[in-house]
Amino acid sequence: MKRILLLTTGGTIASRLTDEGLAPGLDGEALARSLGALGDSYDITVRDILHLDSSNIQPEEWRLIARHVFEAREGFDGIVISHGTDTMAYTASVLSFMVRGIPVPVVLTGAQLPIEHPLTDGLDNLRTAFAMAAQGCPGVFLAFGRRVMLGCRAVKTHTTDFAAFDSVNWPAVAVVNGSGLTIREEAIPRVPGPCVLRDELCQQVFLIKLTPGLDPEIFDMLLRMHYRGVVIEAFGAGGLHFIRRNLIEKLHAAARAGMAVVVCSQCLYESSDFSLYQAGQRALAQGVIQGWDMTTEAAVTKLMWALGQTDRVEEVRGIFNESLCGEIQNRR
Ligand code: ASP
């Protein structure tokens, strides 16, 4: 029987109705019990590590989860993490970097309806997550809506639909269909071990979604606030304004001040390429780092993680030039 560790962190899946609305109230034993007879197919160990709505899961909690995962890597065949859906894609991304090379499957899942609701999707999601965790493919994954995706490619795209997550710019690594759990091995990147816990993070990372006419002085403010990194979701394949309000000039100032600036697209699908247009080329000349086809969640958490490993922008650039766990398909 496969030994599966269930780490619970809260979220809707474990929520009950309170006077203030839904709040996490169920423990992991209750989640495991909901699997019914299926639970007998696995040797399940439960650890309740957090009881939070995932809006309250922040870098401190990421580190805690990462440590539990890292410590369990040898004692279990797979790890399932139950988690709220709202920030699950961030947690899945950051874990992919923090425990890169983990030798067992680590599968995050959750639900749109609490596990005690008669129409819950949680049961289905837990079943998929357990099946994936028992399959032995190493890596960090997110299971939802009968699909399993790479943790660093998952994005929450729906607030209530049961297919709440999409695997962006990367095929789902497994689907549940009439053949059971069908894994596409070729979509799972081989990440060389050994796994080393690298959980240092820099929290001074800001995300800017560009809007037409955005005041470039935002960069002065960020520098005053000691931000060390910025991810810019630029327009389309790679546009940012430089007439009247000159963002490019500010990128220059940010680079001189030692800030790491990563640019990607505010389009959800396909890749940015800042070499295409004049505006993008000017930004590149100021030393911005291309985010290519990364999800925003992966770009932000990778930058937090990279700045946690080094103070040097050139080293951050090197880290972004490499795909660590399938998060980027470098076009160069
Ligand atoms: N607010 C909840 C959370 O992220 C939503 C969910 O789990 O679906 O914890």
Q: Using one digit for the tens of pLDDT, what is the confidence trace for 284-316?
A: 999 999 999 999 999 999 999 999 999 999 999
Specify whether 277 is catalytic.
Answer: yes
Could you report the per-residue pLDDT of 314-328, keeping only the tens digit for each?
Answer: 999 999 999 999 999
Q: Which residue has the tokens 């060389």?
A: 192
H/E stretch holding 283 reads helix 278-285
Pick the catalytic residue from 90, 109, 121, 156. 156
Q: Give the CA dihedral 309, 310, 314, 315, nearest 10 degrees.
A: -40
Our answer to whether residue 156 is catalytic in this structure is yes
Q: For ligand 1, pick from 8, 9, 12, 144 the residue to mutate: most ligand atoms within 8 Å of CB.
A: 12
* C-beta separation of 144 from 165 below 8 A: yes
The reported pLDDT for the residue numbered 192 is: 87
C-alpha of residue 285 to centroid of ligand 1, in Å: 41
Lay out the sheet containing 260-265: strands in order across.
205-209, 229-234, 260-265, 289-290
- Ligand 1 center to 279 CA (angstroms): 39
Nearest-angstrom CA–CA distance, 225 and 10: 32
DSSP string, 115-166: TTSTT-SHHHHHHHHHHHHTS---EEEEEETTEEEEGGGEEE--SS-SS-EE
Residue type, 293: D
CA of 84 to the centre of ligand 1 (A): 4
Mean pLDDT of the chain: 96
Q: How far is the CA of 25 from the centre of ligand 1 (A)?
A: 13
Are β-strands 229-234 and 260-265 bridged in parallel, bridged antiparallel, or unpaired? parallel
Band of residue 55 on the pLDDT scale cut at 50, 70, 90: very high
Q: Which pLDDT band, with edges at 50, 70 and 90, does 332 fall under? A: low
Share of the chain above pLDDT 70, in %: 99
User: What pLDDT, on the 0 to 100 scale, is given for residue 48?
Assistant: 98
Tell me the average pLDDT across 241-264.
95
12 is catalytic: yes
Angle 261-266-271 from CA coordinates, rounded to 5°? 85
The verdict on whether 9 is a catalytic residue reads: no
Confidence of residue 165 (pLDDT cuts 50, 70, 90): very high
Tell which atom from ligand 1 comes closest to the C-alpha of 12.
7
Residue 290 pairs in a beta bridge with 263
pLDDT level of residue 193 (50, 70, 90 thresholds):
confident
133's tokens: 């965790």
pLDDT (mean) for 39-59:
96
Tell whether the model's pLDDT for residue 330 goes beyond 80: no
Strands (E), 168-221: 174-177, 180-183, 205-209
Could you identify the residue written with the tokens 């929520």? Answer: 15
- Residue (of 108, 105, 174, 160) closest to 133 by Cα position: 105
Q: How many residues would you count in the chain?
A: 332
pLDDT in tens, 83-95: 999 999 999 999 9
- pTM (two decimals): 0.97
Give the DSSP letter of residue 265: E
What pLDDT is stored for residue 331 in this prediction? 61
295 contacts: CB under 8 Å, gap ≥ 6: 89, 93, 152, 153, 154, 155, 168, 169, 327
pLDDT band at 39 (very low <50, low <70, confident <90, very high): confident
**d(Cα 53, Cα 3) in Å, to the nearest integer?**
27
The alpha carbon torsion through 112, 113, 119, 120 (nearest 10 deg) reads 80
Q: Residue 45 catalytic?
A: no
Half-sphere exposure of residue 120, counting CA atoms within 13 Å on the CB side? 22
Structure tokens belonging to residue 80: 């399932």
